[in-house]
Structure 1
Amino acid sequence: MCGIIGLVGDKPVSYLIYKGLFAVQHRGQSSAGKLTYDGNIHMNKDAGLVRDVFNDSKKIFTPGNLGIGHTRYSTAGMDDIESLKHNAQPEYVINPFLAGVHNGNIYNGYEMRKKTKRTPRTECDIQWLLLPLADYLYGKKIDVDTIFEAAEWLMPQVKGSYSALFITDSGENPLLFAITDPRKIRPLVLGENTNYKCFASETRVFKKINFRYIEDVPGGSAVVIDKEGQIHEKRICKKKEMPCMFEFVYFAKPDSRINGRSIHNVRVEIGRRLAKEAPVDADIICPVPESGRRYAIGFSRESGIPLDEGLMKDKSERSFIQQTQDKREEIVAEGLSFIRSVLKGKKVVLIDDSIVRGTNMRKIVSGIREAGAKEVHVRIGCPPLLAPCYLGIDMRSRREFIARNPDGSLKDWDQIAKEIGADSLAYISHKSLKESIGFDICTGCINFPDGYPPEMREDALQLFNRDLKDRRAYEIM
């Protein structure tokens, strides 16, 4: 899971990329980078947030009328600071010049590595798109048709999810292009204004830089934009799209849309249905900020129980996407305050998007009780997470899910409630989740393995059976 942005126009793009990266900061907080191109390569990238990486004007303002940017959420490589620096994107190669950024996860990197003559410089799976594409384009005149041919050659070989952006140039014809996996697991949208065309992970980017939405880039597509701003699009591999359900549940921001569906409206509808499926006698509803707020709105509207803010968020970092459990716990411990005047003596419905390991929820429930709450009833806007995601969410091991016993069997909700210290616990049903979103989605992490696209299920089972506690299964070869 990462945030990507790419622009081409008749004026420099650097500042727009910089602004756009802030709009996708929530998608990745490990590192940030951008590359602009004017016949020369101008790249800045490092570990850290956008505001930390681009901390002076020389990094923000660089020449070039096309460029790409990236915020990284690590699903490959180590988690120490040097590894995060090393694996920051964009990445590029020379001969031919090809630069890229990637959102998703390619789980057959060990196979793709055998298909390239080039040596990968990082552990990121952008290498398994960048290097084979560069091999294919080597020695050819690079134009729109050649890029379409390269994408047709590459797509059948790559397994996993990818929404990726590239810049290439074989002379006086610089091009910006995108490719998406056939199932369109990760979002990618296209927009424009008078002077520029823009690819981005989420529609909210267009609001921040005052662009007009054109389309959600279809799955299995290659879309090329030339220096005159002409759009050339080809659907190379047509399959039913299955966007990741976790984009709707957690990752995408509420002011974004995916395939026309408002993330805000989806979460409110899930909360409404959750109130019908799992009613509770309570005094107030409190969301976990910010992730539980839209669910709580829907739950309150349906149940008639008043919504109040019993928890206050002190930090802007998202706990789920931190690289280590220690860091996740630190964000929760230091990032939340409990408002005693709201919680004392109350029967509280605590609402959040999901529970993975349960450590954070246990701390939050404990904090609410310490603030004087009489009862704490937990309601969750996602069915129980049961299995690692191999398509771009960094859930590494089946052993880390609170919904599973050590022997792999599934716990009942009462058992989980007891472990997190709640008086009761209920999750949204699979049926209501799917109906709230409104179209087919990938649900491999909550319905394993049948929730994966059919062609990935056997691979997912093999990865699941290769599971180790602290390593990603697709990195173990």
Structure 2
Amino acid sequence: IAALVAGAESPLEEATAAAMRRLDGAFSVVALSEGKLLAFRDPHGFRPLSIGRLGEDWVVASETCALDLVGADVEREVAPGELVVVDDQGLRSIQAVEQAGDGALCIFEFFYLARPDSRLAGVEVHGARVRMGERLAEEAPVEADLVLPIPDSGTPAAIGFSRALGIPFSEGLIKNRYVGRTFIQPDQGLREQGIRLKFNPLAEVAGKRLVVVDDSIVRGNTTGQIVAMLFDAGAVEVHVRISSPPIVGPCFYGIDFAAEDELVAAGRDVEAVRAHIGATTLAYLSLDGLQASTRRPESAFCRACLTREYPTWIPEETARAKLRFERPEPARA
């Protein structure tokens, strides 16, 4: 993007708008030039981008919680396809590219990526995740002694599940705050090592029937190892409940699961995934249940990882390999 803008002979704003019209895919960009702040978003609005006001100054951030933390008032989101320019004349808006339909905000933001104290499309993320847990309890109830989350992104849904069924909520798993997100580690060995360092079960799980609530299962690494940890700690049953539908499609818009063979639910039914992770039972939230929990229309989201229906053209495998600077595997006879 920077090369397209820098290589243009036209003024900065025109060059940025022209670059936006040439791009296809997901981007939310904040750029600083001499005397100007620019913020712009792809026409589908895959990734969030918000504008705030701090006194006489303007603030731009990918999530509204960042604006809250610096004391800024949230003004609005940068619209899909919009270019915002802030300079000594104030804030100006240019609709550089027409918005694509109702937009296509990544639904993965709602159940995993975004901080729970952020707002997406005007909806508080924490509240949406609690509703996901409540709906999950309606769709897949279970008799158990404790409900515990896989922290931290599974916590709001676990709260909702616990409330809906009246089963006591417990932390159950203590998280090491110095270990980052495991699913985005670059290889399987690092992911597994991160899981072992990241969680430790409490003694109270021994002899208990547990419901373990998480936001999603991507590769199955975290969930399977945690299930084994809990059985090793003395749990008699471990029922896994997931507050999203199965992830069955690769993401080409910025989430780190671009290969279908890495996705545990791709090509497996629920029973096969349950056996893979070693749980007593397994259930996912339905797509309708997830959608209702966001209080936003289906048309406003990209749900490709859940449906394999992509809002933009996706290159064939050979083209994707070239984009990753890899050599495609030879065709098999």
TM-score, length basis structure 1: 0.65
User: For each residue in 1:272-328, what CA deviation from the matched residue of structure 2 results, as whole angstroms up to 9, or x when unmatched?
Assistant: 000001111111101011121001011111111111111100134222222332222
Mapped to 2, the partners of 1:390 and 1:301 lie a distance apart of 36
Tell me how far apart the structure 2 counterparts of residues 402 and 197 of structure 1 sit (CA, whole Å): 43
Query: Match for residue 25 of structure 2?
Result: 160
Unaligned runs of 5+ in 2: 328-333
CA contact (8 A) 1:203 1:256 kept: yes
Equivalent position amino acid for 1:421 in 2: G
| Partner amino acid, structure 2, of 1:130 | A
Does the alignment pair 1:334 with 2:193? Answer: no
- 1:132 corresponds to which letter in structure 2? L
Equivalent position SS for 1:246: helix
How far apart in 2 are the matches of 1:357 and 1:193?
41
Selected match of 1:287 from 129, 143, 149: 149
In structure 2, the partner of 1:269 is 131
Q: Deviations over 1:243-272 (max 9, x none)?
A: 101111111110111111101011001100
Q: Would you say 1:429 and 2:291 are equivalent positions?
A: no
Write the letter of the residue equivalent to 2:3: L
Aligned counterpart in structure 1 of residue 95 of structure 2, from 225, 231, 235: 235
| Equivalent residues of 1:177, 1:223 under 8 A apart | yes
Q: What CA distance in whole angstroms lies between the structure 2 residues aligned with 1:323 and 1:206? A: 30
Partner Cα separation in structure 2 for residue 291 and residue 238 of structure 1: 31
Q: What's the TM-score, normalizing by structure 2? A: 0.91
Within 5 Å, give how 1:287-306 maps onto structure 2.
287-306=149-168
Distance 1:323 1:265 in 2: 32
Q: Is the Cα–Cα contact under 8 Å of residues 157 and 213 in structure 2 kept in the other structure?
A: yes
Letter of the 1:383 counterpart: P
Q: Is the 8 A contact 2:191 2:221 kept in 1?
A: no
Q: 1:137-161: per-residue Cα shift (whole Å, max 9, x none)? A: x3x4x4xxx51x3344222321110
Q: Partner residue of 2:331?
A: none
2:250 to 388, 392, 415: 388
- For the residues of structure 2 that align with 1:347 and 1:473, how far apart are their CA atoms? 48
What RMSD, in angstroms, separates the aligned Cα atoms of the two structures?
Answer: 1.8
The 2-side partners of 1:447 and 1:329 are apart by 28
Offset at residue 184 of structure 1 (A): 0.4
Identity over aligned residues, as a percent? 36
Distance 2:40 2:113 in 1: 21
Matched, 1:187 2:48: yes
Task: Pick closer, same or farther for the CA change 1:183–1:365 going to 2, 3 Å.
Answer: same
Instruction: Report whether the alignment pairs 1:150 with 2:11.
Output: no
User: Aligned equivalents of 2:148 and 2:99: distance in 1?
Assistant: 43
- Matched AA of 2:182: S
Question: What is the alpha-carbon distance in structure 1 between the residues aligned to residue 302 and residue 201 of structure 2?
Answer: 35
Q: Which residue identity lines up with residue 164 of structure 1 in the other structure?
A: V
Separation (CA, whole Å) in 1 of partners of 2:190 and 2:278: 22
* Alignment coverage as a number of residue pairs: 321
Quote the residue 1:459 is aligned against: 314
Query: Match of 1:168, as an amino acid?
Result: S
Q: How far, CA to CA, are the matches of 1:151 and 1:466 in structure 2?
A: 26
Residue 53 of structure 2 aligns to which amino acid in structure 1? E
Would the aligned equivalents of 1:396 and 1:473 in 2 still touch at CA under 8 Å?
no
Residue 189 of structure 1 contacts residue 216 of structure 1 at CA under 8 Å; is this kept in 2? yes
* Structure 2 partner of 1:420: 277
Distance 2:78 2:275 in 1: 45
